[in-house]
């Protein structure tokens, strides 16, 4: 299987790339961090599968298209595309920063759109293939001190819900991945307790297993993600009162 993973140089994306290579697949990992990509290639050298590195910024539309064209030329049209590139910068209303909101939306949301534009026509024409969009349980409801991040991940979830029926009719399988807290360089910056924190190798295995089963939504760890999902059914008055308590403790 040929796999393209964005945000493949660190964290969850890197571990998913490594596990797929260990399983014998051809993995095309893209990211902005060229040194980290090079170290991934070296780490996976000698595995049953192979890693091909592509320096790419998902906010650069032309560069994304060039990368996808290079992947097709080098190894072929991917069977699975995992759109994992993303970022987060904590925010709060007392230091409201429009540029931070725009940056996070450009990377987390528009970065996915920029990749879907060249990928979807090819998969639809072939009438096969999988696309996995990595969102977050933070997209289930708006959480205090994470407005920009939650908004971007919520947008990804509803995007996938909207596109899935159309793509299914066209023969393409679309999935949304909603992780809880996973130990990565991104979550290492968090200064608050992270319940049910998963190690990255276990999280990657859960993601790969969920995609293999063909589920539309892949979530992990189950106990935490379903607890957060439950908040979607709480009346707003109850949820917002609970959320204010989080602000008070911050």
Name the catalytic one among 20, 109, 140, 149. Answer: 149
Q: What angle do CA 142, 212, 56 make, to 5 degrees?
A: 65
Beta carbons within 10 angstroms of residue 197's beta carbon: 15
pLDDT number for residue 192: 54
Please give the Cα distance from 22 to 8 (Å, whole number). Answer: 15
Q: Predicted confidence band at 174 (pLDDT cuts at 50, 70, 90)?
A: very high
Residues 209-250 pLDDT 10s: 999 999 999 999 988 888 888 888 889 898 888 888 877 655
In angstroms, the Cα distances linking 203 to 161, 229, 241 are 23, 18, 31
E strands in the chain: 2-6, 26-31, 50-55, 80-83, 130-134, 173-179, 217-220
Q: How many CB atoms lie within 10 A of CB 96?
A: 11
pLDDT of residue 20: 98
Average pLDDT (77-82) is 98
| CATH number for region 2-249 | 3.40.50.720
Question: Domain residues of the chain, as ranges?
Answer: 2-249
Distance between CA atoms of 27 and 8, rounded to whole angstroms?
A: 10
Task: Let me know: does 55 contact 31? Beta carbons within 8 Å.
Answer: yes
What pLDDT does residue 79 have? 98
101 catalytic, yes or no? no
């Amino acid at each position: 299987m040929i796999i393209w993973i964005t945000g493949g140089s660190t964290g969850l994306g890197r571990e998913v790339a490594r596990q797929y290579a260990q399983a014998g697949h051809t993995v095309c990992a893209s990211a902005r961090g060229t040194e980290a990509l090079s170290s991934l290639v070296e780490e996976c050298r000698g595995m049953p599968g192979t890693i091909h590195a592509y320096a790419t910024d998902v906010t650069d539309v032309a560069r994304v298209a060039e990368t996808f064209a290079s992947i097709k030329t080098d190894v072929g049209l991917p069977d699975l595309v995992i759109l994992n590139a993303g970022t987060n910068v904590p925010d709060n209303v007392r230091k409201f920063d429009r540029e931070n909101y725009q940056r996070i939306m450009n990377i987390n949301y528009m970065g996915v759109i920029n990749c879907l534009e060249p990928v979807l026509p090819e998969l639809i024409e072939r009438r096969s293939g999988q696309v996995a969009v990595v969102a977050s349980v933070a997209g289930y409801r708006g959480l205090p001190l994470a407005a920009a991040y939650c908004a971007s991940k919520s947008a990804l979830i509803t995007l996938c819900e909207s596109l899935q029926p159309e793509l299914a009719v066209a023969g393409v399988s679309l999935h949304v991945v909603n992780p809880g807290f996973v130990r990565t360089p991104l979550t290492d910056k968090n200064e608050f307790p992270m319940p049910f924190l998963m190690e990255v190798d276990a999280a990657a295995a859960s993601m790969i297993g969920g995609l293999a089963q063909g589920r539309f939504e892949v979530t992990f760890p189950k106990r935490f993600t379903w607890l957060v999902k439950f908040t979607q059914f709480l009346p707003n008055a109850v949820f917002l009162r609970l959320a204010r308590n989080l602000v008070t403790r911050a």
